[in-house]
Amino acid sequence: MSTDNMTNQESSTKRKKIQKIGVFTSGGDAPGMNAAVRAVTRAAIAHKLKVVGIRRGYQGMIEGDFINLKSTDVSGIMHQGGTILKTARSKEFRTPEGREKAYQQLKKAEIDAVVVIGGDGSFTGALVFSQDYDIPFVGIPGTIDNDIYGTDYTIGYDTALNTVVEAVDKIKDTARSHGRIFFVEVMGREAGLLALSSGIACGAEAILIPESSDNGSSLNRFLAKGYKDKETSGIVMVAEGEEAGGAMKIAEQVRKDHPDLDVRVSILGHIQRGGNPSAQDRIAATKMGVAAVDALLDDQKSIMIGLMNNKIVHVPFNKAIKLNHSIDEDLIDIQKVLLTNQ
């Protein structure tokens, strides 16, 4: 029987009662993913469901890398960073042949529904897969960028923000001691919220993000004042996706324009993904994990669990994927006010 015929036949019949669910983490890891896995597992068990952990994301789904999860298997993982289920990117899953393999593995393991913890790329894969095959997917947003539409908050953002702030506070000490300007680059290839929030929290002299058109003028005001008054210590926060080319290229240009300034670059890199999740990340992950199981039992599919005004909401995958999470304009205005008199 062809895949299309098989899919149509299954779609025409009433979906059977869920008895076993799979859970996996996908895309970039984020602190709090383990707390979400724990919540999904224990909530499912509380509803008399069996739980299977899918290791290494969609690639593990294709290869049938499954482990049965009991309540004791997720004991003591809430405080751990990373993900016990591992994560990986899968080019094969982007092909119909790869998704067919994944479907056969899920059916072989008798998995009736799946919870995916990840970002918009992970949700895109889930949406395409659920359109091909009648297996419901529910998503939990896990990304340090906090850039997914339909939720005020994504798992991992708060921890990453605190990691950046702690690191920059230490960099400020050496910047002040040596009279240096540090360009500090943080993650956020397409979204600058992490750079904006951490810059405000650290009292940065300038903040460069993809969403703002005022980047050049704010940086030039600071450099002009610093050059004139010889007050050259300072922090400039840069989102890695800033169109001028990131911290390295911007700093290189500043060295050429202001040769008397002592300019350094610090790229924080993957330390932003690690570390024990904050209390806020643990609580949000737990609320979303329990809500994801409830949604599957309510016959929901192709939705993401979100938090809006601290309340659980359901957001269709197609909206979470296609619509942009706009940056908080109030924060940009605050930044402009604080930097105006430099």
Q: Which of 65, 145, 147, 281 is catalytic?
A: 145
Q: Looking at this protein, which amino acid is placed at residue 227?
A: Y
- Per DSSP, the three-state class of 4 is helix
CA dihedral over 172, 192, 56, 112, signed as positive or negative: positive
Beta-sheet pairing, 311-316 with 303-308: antiparallel
Sort 294 into a burial class: Cβ within 10 Å, 0-12 / 13-18 / 19+.
Answer: middle
60-79: burial string, b at 16+ Cβ within 10 Å, e else? bbbbebbeebeeebbeebbe
Residue 89's nearest CA partner among 143, 26, 31 is 26
Active site residue 145: yes
In sequence order, the β-bridge partners of residue 306 are: 313
Q: How far apart are CA 107 and CA 28, in angstroms?
A: 27
Catalytic residues: 145
